[in-house]
Amino acid sequence: MTHASTDSLLAALRWRYATKLFDPARKIPADVWDAIEESMVLTPSSFGLQPWRFLVIEDPALRAKLRTESWNQPQVTDASHYVVLTARTDLTEKDIDTWIHCLADAQGREPDAIAPLRGMIAGFAETMSCEDRHQWNKRQVYIALGQVMAAAAVLGIDACPMEGISAGGYDRLLGLEGSGYATAVGCALGYRSGEDKYATIPKARFPREQVVRHL
């Protein structure tokens, strides 16, 4: 397999920025979008549990409503694609069983053969309150957010993580209440507009020697 060079990776990560204005006329080609979805599906998660669903909002009317729950930020309606990343609100025995069956299937084994793993996950889940489990799931979803933003950058696709949203408002509009999933964060993907002044502002990061320490 050919790997990316360090230069091309860093060029992509420096090229990306939180795109504020998307070009509403430019759509991500289907094959590229397919790869972006697949990159989300491939996201690593603790124990492999994948406590998430990714909602791709295609209906323009629904996107307009979500925008009203997003401080009216235009990314919600104007980006080529808009994804709402949701987290499981709990981590139940049933969730664990579903995962154990999926894992056993992939490995061509009986679920009973991986019962020790099941016990380990269940023991871990028991140490937390329901609210803690939801928080834990939300952190897993942020791995997906990191992976999809990095994947998009590498593919030359612009993205904007959307935290300035009303999760409760989204849940209502998306019919998530009582579903076992709740909105964690949004992500708009597409192509920057030539009008986005943020595209040319220098990227600001703390100096590396402050952020990375060697012990």
Residues 165-184 binding a second copy (CB under 8 A) are 174
Candidates 48, 64, 93, 130: give the one binding a second copy (CB under 8 A).
48
Residue 2 or 72 with smaller CB distance to a second copy? 2
Query: b vs e for 10-32, b when ≥16 Cβ sit within 10 Å of the residue's Cβ?
Result: eebeeebbebbbbbeeeebeeeb
Residue 16 or 23 with smaller CB distance to a second copy? 16
Q: Shortest approach of a second copy to residue 7 CB, angstroms?
A: 8
Q: Does 151 bind a second copy (CB under 8 A)?
A: yes
Candidates 117, 122, 155, 199: give the one binding a second copy (CB under 8 A).
155
Residue 47 neighbours by CB under 8 Å, 6+ apart = 99, 117, 120, 121, 124
Total interface residues for a second copy by CB under 8 A = 76
The answer to whether residues 82 and 57 touch, using CB atoms and an 8 Å cutoff, is yes
Q: Shortest approach of a second copy to residue 94 CB, angstroms?
A: 14
Candidates 20, 133, 138, 192: give the one binding a second copy (CB under 8 A).
138
The answer to whether residues 117 and 81 touch, using CB atoms and an 8 Å cutoff, is no
Tokens 């209440």 belong to which residue? 177
Burial class (CB in 10 A: 0-12, 13-18, 19+), 55: middle
Q: Shortest approach of a second copy to residue 159 CB, angstroms?
A: 9
Q: Does 30 bind a second copy (CB under 8 A)?
A: no
Q: Shortest approach of a second copy to residue 163 CB, angstroms?
A: 5
Candidates 24, 35, 166, 199: give the one binding a second copy (CB under 8 A).
35
Candidates 27, 62, 90, 169: give the one binding a second copy (CB under 8 A).
62
Q: What is the DSSP secondary structure assignment for residue 192, as one 8-state letter?
A: B
DSSP string for residues in 81-133: EEEEEEEES---HHHHHHHHHHHHHHHT--GGGGHHHHHHHHHHHHTS-HHHH
Which range of residues in 72-80, 88-96, 188-196, 202-210 is near a second copy by CB under 8 A?
202-210
Strands (E) in 155-200, as ranges, are 158-162, 181-190
Candidates 93, 110, 126, 163: give the one binding a second copy (CB under 8 A).
163
Q: Does 105 bind a second copy (CB under 8 A)?
A: yes
The answer to whether residues 76 and 66 touch, using CB atoms and an 8 Å cutoff, is yes
Q: Does 203 bind a second copy (CB under 8 A)?
A: yes
